[in-house]
Every structure is written in C-alpha cells, then in structure tokens.
Amino acid sequence: MLARILLGVLGTALFVTPSGISQQASPRTFRFVSEWKVPPQNVAAYSADLDKTVRPTLESLLQEGAVLAYGLYVTTVNEDEGITNGFWFEIPSLVAMEKVQDKLAKLMPSTIVNSAIRHHDYLFRVILRNNRSARGSNGYFYVNSTLLQPGKRDQWREWWHKYQKPMYDQFLAEGLITSYELDSGEIHTMDPNWIYLAYVIPTAEALDKINNEFRIRVEKRSTEENQAINSALEVLVVAGSHRDYLARTTNYATK
C-alpha cells in the first residue's frame, strides 16, 4: 500500500549517554513523515487501520533496530485544507530503509485507506535530537515550523541554543516530553529555509506544565531583556512565517 511513498536514505544510529538521554551522532539520522487528509467521517477508522497495519510493522522494525522511533497521530487542531492523519519513523541507514520499504510495501490496501483525499510525504534531516527510551499512547505531537531568512541558519541555531534549548532539556529531564528534535528538509518539497522543532508530550497535563513554564520564564525577565531576545529573533526569521501543529499520538515509541 505504501510502496510509492518511501525513499531510500543514508544515516547513522543514535548513541546513548550515561544519563539515559540519547544524543545524535554524526552523520545524522532522518525522519520520514507520511500524512493524509481523509473525509471527517473516516478519520477514526483511518487511524484504526494505521494502528492495525502500520504500527505492528514499525514496532517489529524498532525491535530489530531498523527503526529508531515511530509515532502515529491524528490532527487535534484542524485546518480547512490541512491533514488529518499521519505517521513518522526515524531511520539510521540505507539498509534499514530498505527493510522499512519492503515491509510497508507488503501491506494490503483497504477501502478506508483508499478514501484519502490527499497525501504528502516529507523526508527530514535530523539536525539535533535528544530523547528518552519511551513508549505510550494518547500523548501529543507538537511541531513548530519557522521560515528562516536566507543565510541565517547558523545565527538562528545560536539563538535557539541560548534561549530555547535549555528549556527543552529541562522538560526532557522532568519527563514532560519524551523527545525533541530540530529538523530541516532533506528532500526539498518545501522551501529549504524552513526549520522544524518537533517534540512528543506524554499527557495533556505535561503540555499544560510546558506552556506554564514558558509563561513564567517570560514574566521573570525584564521588559528590556524580552525585547532584546525578540529583536534578535526578528532579524533571523521571515515575519509571520511561524506555524504550530498539534496532534494526538495514538501510539509512539523511541528506543
């Protein structure tokens, strides 16, 4: 069913630090995302079909080491022309990608799968990734997308590492997220200057705590400090380009 959506890619596996948090080795790994828009009345059935067919396949490949992480999700905040269902998986090598491709290609199509109105795939290069070994269901998948000004990627990384990364490291240590990563397009079906921050949150309570921590951090700073931080960001990004995406993760796992 999914043979036409898969691409072969190269990469390498993650390594695990003594703290139990995985850090990305070099060269980088990759995230493959496949998304669909289906009629509203079919969203739940489509999700159930992916859970019945795709999830066991990815879980088996996770145990083999061909897949490093995966997740299935359903959009929470819907848009008029937005997607409704999707899944992602991360891969360490071309050999592993061949295994994923072969396994998913053998899945039989169904009436509900063929009801999709639109389908889109993304292949991302993972720039930075931190995670804990985790698995769960009914969590949240959050993606922040920002279009950078041409030639400003390195400066944006410096800004993000200084003002944002410590917060996500804290959230990971406290168990409020199970992983976070920065991605960029590997196959440029989008503007190559887009940068993506993706993270998995185990519960709605954890999401509330994250939002509260960000609010508290801003309130503790002086007005002048907040203005300086925002001004430093404004010259690095395309004004008005920032977008958020929120989905429920029906199932997810990370080694």
Please report, rounded to a whole number, the percentage of residues in the chain having pLDDT higher than 90. 76
Mean pLDDT computed over every residue of the chain: 88
pLDDT computed for residue 15 by the predictor: 30
Model confidence pLDDT, tens digit, residues 158-186: 999 999 999 999 999 999 999 999 999 98
Maximum pairwise Cα distance, the chain: 59
Model confidence pLDDT, tens digit, residues 72-86: 999 999 998 899 999
| CA 245 to mean position of chain CA atoms | 10
Task: Determine phi and psi for 111, rounding to 5 degrees.
Answer: -60, -40
pLDDT computed for residue 4 by the predictor: 34
Q: Which residues of 115-152 are buried (b: 16+ CB within 10 A; e: fewer)?
A: ebeebebbbbbbebbbbbebbbeebbbbbebbbbbeee
Identify the band that residue 28 occupies on the pLDDT scale cut at 50, 70 and 90.
low
What are the residues whose beta carbons fall under 8 Å from the beta carbon of 166, sequence distance 6 or more?
none
DSSP state letters, 64-108: HTS-SEEEEEEESS--TT---EEEEEEES-HHHHHHHHHHHHTSP
Model confidence pLDDT, tens digit, residues 207-240: 999 999 999 999 999 999 999 999 999 999 999 9
Residue 85's closest CA among 122, 41, 34?
34
The tokens 């959230």 sit on which residue? 171
Instruction: Determine the Cα–Cα distance for residues 65 and 51; give it in Å rounded to an integer.
Output: 20
Token readout for 56 is: 């066991």
Tell me whether strands 139-147 and 85-91 are parallel, antiparallel or unpaired.
unpaired
The tokens 């309570």 sit on which residue? 205
Within 10 angstroms of residue 52's Cβ, the number of other Cβ atoms is: 11
- Domains of the chain (ranges, CATH numbers): 3-254 (3.30.70.100)
Please report, rounded to a whole number, the percentage of residues in the chain having pLDDT higher than 70. 89
- This prediction has a pTM of 0.85
Residue 147 has pLDDT above 50, yes or no: yes
